[in-house]
Amino acid sequence: MQWIKLLKPYDHHTAGETISLDGAEAKALIQTGHAEQAQAPEGSDDVDLKSLIERTVDDAMDGLIRRLPGKLEKSPTSDRRPRITVGQDNELLDPRDGFRGVGEFAHSVRRAFENHGLDHRLERRLKAQGASEGVNADGGYAVPIEFSNNVFNDILGEDSLFNRCFLIPMTSNSIKLPALNYTTQGNFGVTAYWTGEAAAITQSKPAYRQPQLNLNKLAALVPVTSELLEDGIAIEPIITKLAAEAITFTLNNAILNGNGTSKPTGIVGHASVVSVAKETGQAAATVVADNVVKMRSRYIGNPANAVFLIHRDVEAQLLTMQDPSGHFLYFAPGTFANTPSGRLLGADVVPLSNCQALGTVGDIIYADLKQYAIGYKAAGPTQAMSLHLYFNTDELAYRWTFRVDGRPWRDAPLAAANGPSTYGPLITLATRS
C-alpha cells in the first residue's frame, strides 16, 4: 500500500485528500498527474519504525539507569515507553505473498490441484473476482500483485504506445470526457467583438461535447508444459515476456488500427485525422521529402510532443531523404549522443510492426499521442493461473486480462480560419499507388 495526496477528485475522494491505495493504482494516479506521493498521516496504522526503535532504546536505557546504585530516579512524567499500535498483518502487505518467484508460485498451484496439500501462502489473498478454489474453471488462483506488475511494467516499455498516450485510470466501466466542440480556428464558442463606448457587448458561450470510453477486455492465455514447470528459474521470464509482448502488440495495433468494436478506436481512418495527399507523379511505395514536410506543416500543437510512427520498411526511404539544398532530413539512431531514437525534422522516429505496409495509409504517421485518450482499469492487468483448461495435456494455463479503451480526443480536423487547409495533432499520408 502507498499513501498519496490527491491533486484531482478520484472515485469518491476529493482533491487534497490523503489516502492509501494499492501500489499499482497509486503509481497510475501519480503518473497521470492525479496525485503525488505523501507521508502517512499522524494516527494512521502505519508504524514509524525508526521512531519506535528510538523509543524502545531510550526506554531500555532509562531502565538501566534506574537500576544503577546512587542514580536518581527519573520523574514519572518522563516515561518514554513505546506506544502499542495496532496495524495490519505484515504478511498481507507482501506483494509476493511469500513466494520467491512465479515458478515457485506455479509449483504451489499445481500441487494444490493434484491434491498434494494446499500451501498456506495461497490462502493469503482472495481469488480473482468470482473465482473458486473448488471449481477451477471459475478462474484459478490469482497471481500475487508484484508478479502481475511485472507484465504491466513491460506494457509501459519503450516500444509501447500506451505509455505515450493520455492515460485515464478508471474505477468504473465507462467515462465521459468533457471537451470543447470547435472545428474552425478562432471559433472557440467564446467570441471577442470590437465594441463602441457604452454599446452592449455581444454574448457568446462555448459548445461542449462528451466523447465516451467504455472498457473492453484484452486477454492473453499462455499454456505452459509440466516440463517447463520443473524449472522455476526459466518459467518466469518466459511467460512474462510472452504475455507482455502479446498484450503490447495487440494494444499498439488497436491504438493505430482499431475499429472501435470491442476494442479501442484507432488513429488510421478516424474522422479527426488530417490526410496529406501524395505528390504529383510520386512513385508507389515511396516516402519523399515533400511528404514529411507537408505532414509537419499540417500539425497543430506542441512540436515537442510529436513523433513519427513508421513501418520498419519506411526507414530505408528516410536514410537517403534530402531537401532541395541537399541536406539530409533524417538522422539514424546513434547519430548523436543521448539520442537512442532516429530523428526526422526534430521529432523522434518510432518504428513499429503495427504500422501499415509501405505505400499505404498508416505507413507513416505524425502524431501527438497525448491527443489520444486511453482509459484503463486503474488496477492494471490481472493475472491468474489454472490447471483446468489443459488438464488432459498436462499443462498449466496462465491468463492475463486488461480492461482498456481509447480514442482520439478530437472528432474532426480543425479548419483554417483563412484558406482551405485543415490541421490537427494526428496526420497520415495518403496511399501512393
194-204 pLDDT, tens digit each: 887 878 887 77
Q: Which of 73-77, 95-99, 143-147, 294-298 has the lowest mean pLDDT?
A: 73-77
Q: Measure the CA–CA gap between 205 and 43, rounded to whole angstroms.
A: 48
pLDDT category at 132 given cuts 50, 70, 90 is very low
**317: in domain:** yes
Q: What are phi and psi of 217, to 5 degrees?
A: -100, 125
Reported confidence tier of residue 60, pLDDT bands at 50, 70, 90: low
**Would strands 347-351 and 307-310 be described as parallel, antiparallel, or unpaired?**
parallel
Q: Which helix (H) or strand (E) holds 233?
A: helix 232-257
Q: Residue 6 domain-assigned?
A: yes
Q: What proportions of the chain, in percent to the nearest 5, are helix, strand and coil?
A: 30, 25, 50
The yes-or-no verdict on residue 12 having pLDDT over 80 is no
Domain that holds residue 329: 274-373+418-429
Please check whether residue 294 lies inside any domain of the structure.
yes
Q: What pLDDT is recorded for position 302?
A: 87
Residue 245 has pLDDT above 50, yes or no: yes
In three-state secondary structure terms, 318 is helix
189 or 13, greater pLDDT: 13
Higher per-residue pLDDT: 311 or 398: 311
pLDDT for 95: 56
pLDDT in tens, 271-321: 999 999 999 999 999 999 999 999 999 999 888 899 999 999 999 999 999
By the 8 A CB rule, do 363 and 276 touch?
Answer: no
Q: Is residue 207 part of a domain?
A: no
| Higher-scoring residue by pLDDT: 172, 63 | 172
126 confidence band (pLDDT: 50, 70, 90): very low
Alpha-carbon span 222 to 238, nearest angstrom: 10
Q: Give the residue with greater pLDDT, 396 vs 21.
A: 21
For residue 411, is it within any domain? no
pTM above 0.75, yes or no: no
Cell numbers of 184, please? 474552425
Give pLDDT, residue 260.
Answer: 93
Contact 44, 85 (CB under 8 A): no
> Domain total for the chain?
2
- The pLDDT of residue 266 is 96
Entry field: residues in the chain: 433
Q: Which residue has the cell 499462455?
A: 222
Q: What was the pLDDT predicted at 378?
A: 85
Assess if residue 182 is contained within a domain.
Answer: no
Q: Which residue has the cell 491504438?
A: 255
- Burial call 55-74: b when 16+ CB within 10 Å, e when fewer: eeeeeeeeeeeeeeeeeeee
What's the pLDDT score for residue 19? 85
pLDDT at 135: 40
pLDDT value, residue 291: 96
- Least confident piece of the model among 27-41, 139-153, 379-393, 417-431: 139-153
Whether 343 is in a domain gets the answer: yes
Average pLDDT, the chain: 76
- The answer to whether position 254 is within a domain reads no
Task: State yes or no: pLDDT of 425 exceeds 80.
Answer: yes
Q: Please tell me the predicted confidence (pLDDT) of residue 312.
A: 93
How far apart are the C-alpha atoms of 85 and 350, rounded to whole Å? Answer: 52
Model confidence over 142-160: pLDDT tens digits? 555 455 555 666 666 667 8
